[in-house]
Homo-oligomer: A and B are copies of this chain.
Amino acid sequence: MASGGSARKPYHHGNLREALIDGAIAIIQEQDIAAVSLRKVARQIGVTNAAPYHHFANKTALLSAVAAEGFRVLVERGTAAIEAEASPRAQLNALGMTYLSVAIEHPAHYQVMFRSDLHQADCEDLECVSGDAFGMLVGIIDRLREELGAEGDVLPVTLSTWSMVHGFATLWTQGALEKKTGIEDWSPLAQHILRMLGDLVMRELEAMCPDSGHE
């Protein structure tokens, strides 16, 4: 939507929807989820209270869009990390570190992604792109299974992986780990944990091979 190239502020913003998403993300990055209000975002853009309601049904709709944008970044960076590695095992590790980097570098944005109480009930876009993110992990585990010749349901292994990485991310971003352990740098600890996690996945999948001796 153009609305003319004049320098004076036009009646129609021209790109309010994206501006609202960007504005909300900016507040989230610089401050907090609690600091986000529709009125403040609108004010910063130079538009009145009610203007956002012509682009988002309510606050949760805007935050759903913010969450979706976060998943989009996660998928983008995750895909790049996966493609940079050859073996599925290395890909799993790379995806884990990328996931944690995204989460810990943008803690508030990460929280919006997983606080379902902030989301609209049935936001197709969000469900789709979060599904894509989950799909990256599913894909790696599946390639690993093929490589090893494992048979059976890999869902529990997949979910345990997601759980551990997500748990570490949330505990760290909430400050719980730093407070309890005094550790300041998350990266070495994360590497250690991802190594253990990778071993777990490998062993579980190996145990699922027909010739492994286990049932």
Contacts and interface: CB of A to CB of B under 8 A. Distances in A.
A174 B203 CA distance: 29
A168 B167 contact: yes
B117 A34 contact: yes
Contacts of A204: 196
Nearest to A175: B116
Interface residues of A, number: 41
| Most chain B C-beta atoms within 10 Å of own C-beta, residue among A127, A165, A167, A203 | A167
A189 B197 CA distance: 18
Given A114-B174, A155-B181, A168-B163, A203 B192 contact: no
Contacts of A160: 164, 168, 193, 196-197
Contacts of A174: 114-116
A56 interface: no
A158 B124 CA distance: 38
A71 to B, nearest CB: 12
A203 B201 CA distance: 13
B168 A181 contact: no
A131 interface: yes
B196 A117 contact: no
Interface in A140-180: 155-157, 159-160, 162-168, 170-171, 174-177, 179-180
Interface string A181-197: 10000000100110011
